[in-house]
Amino acid sequence: MKQIRPHKTVRLLVFMSLLLFIFVPPAMAFEGRGDDNVTIEAGELVEDDLYVGTNKFVLDGTIKGDLVVAASEIVINGTVEGDLLAVGQFVEINGIVADDTRIGAAAIEMGEGAEIGGDLIVAGYSLHGKSGSLVSQDLVFAGFQALLAGDVNEDVWVGVNSLQVNGRIAGNITAEVGGEDSAPPVNPYQFTPGVPAMPVVPSGLTVGDAAEIGGDFTYRSPQSFDIPSNAIEGDVDFTQETVSMDNASQPSTGQAVWRHVRRFITLALIGTLLIWQAPSFVTRLSEQLREKPVPSLGWGALVYFGVPVIVLVLIVAAILLAILFGSLQFGNLGSAVVFVMLAVVFAFMVAFVLVLLYLTKIIVGYFVGHQILQRVSPALADTPYWPLLLGLLLVVAVIALPWLGGLVNWIIAIVGVGALWLLWRDKVPVEKIA
């Protein structure tokens, strides 16, 4: 029989989990609710499936069927007797979900009394299963970090940068994790107001002394980790992740330099055009960074990690609308709605990628160049093109550094997106000068 490598299996399960998010079986009888905030009070009973789209959703009562909810914040304190499909920024489960649970969110927390009767399939930034939480069947997670302090009665499949196991896993663990130095252990939402606290999990793999693993532990990583032998009843199977690069695939020094020169020329041309057409836009973004550096970082992290969740929400919304129109026999209207919404999602994704690749570097480059020239040559600082060129030169030079460059590039993207978000949120008018 053909053997399937563990990391291939994890990726396959992650792909399958994303399909499960999208293709949810429709129910013929359901109740829908939509408002700024929706709360199912304690003692309230919903007899059918419930579909909710809102800003904040709280369940203190009982839903006899399935729950499909899209919201910024989702809190499950009550009982869902069917399946749960939740898409949002933050999802907290303190109650009971009798069947399978599928979640797409930035942060997911299972409280001490949380109980999942079926499988738990999750995609997001952070998953925290507290001590006392229970997943009755398999747990599948794809994201950045996972802290598993609760119980899982069957197998665990994870693909993360940071994994910490402190709880009881009755079955096997199959994991793909990063190295100790693969990413800094930080909470990108710690400066964002109104955001629930989330744990900071050390990079790589950590198995606590209180962990109990009833099966095998199979993991793939750039390095091996010390695992307490008394924590695992089965075998430990480690596969070292290696990056094979032959000499032919490695760029020469000249090619590497030319790549960064091209990047500088591209950014300089786009930035010059932007300053020519809308100079106040760039200067106001620079002012946002100067006046609100910490909020820019916090909101930038929220937008950076929240956009994939928004994309998932839009895709799920398109599918649900298609199901609704199909059940109402509107002919091809459902297909048309899905096509239009997917086109919007694609355009949104392209725009966001362009912002990350170009606009954020232009914003930060102009800010850095302007701050330097104000101290060195105030006359040059008054001309917008010189700060732009100096700042972009420094940005490209730092990004070109090995190891450090990737981290700086990531921080620039987050801070730049944050400044753009704050400018849009404050609805500052942008004067266009042709």
**What is the model's pLDDT at position 293?**
81
Hey, which bits of 246-400 come out as E strands? none
Sheet holding 212-213, edge to edge: 45-46, 62-63, 79-80, 96-97, 115-116, 134-135, 151-152, 168-169, 212-213
**What is the model's pLDDT at position 430?**
45
CA angle 210, 215, 220 (to 5 degrees): 90
- Residue whose C-alpha is closest to residue 115's, from 137, 139, 95: 95
**What is the model's pLDDT at position 185?**
63
SS3 61: coil
**pLDDT string in tens for the chain (434-residue length):** 334 344 444 444 444 444 334 333 333 334 555 557 899 999 999 998 898 877 789 999 999 999 988 777 899 999 999 999 888 778 999 999 999 999 888 789 999 999 999 999 998 888 999 999 999 999 999 888 999 999 999 999 999 989 999 999 999 999 999 888 766 666 666 655 556 678 889 989 999 989 999 999 999 998 999 988 889 999 999 998 775 554 445 555 667 777 778 888 888 888 888 888 887 888 888 888 888 888 888 888 888 888 888 888 777 777 777 667 666 666 566 667 677 777 888 888 888 888 888 888 888 888 888 888 888 777 777 788 888 888 888 888 888 887 778 888 888 888 888 888 888 877 644 444 33
Inter-residue contact 430 to 278 (CB < 8 Å) = yes
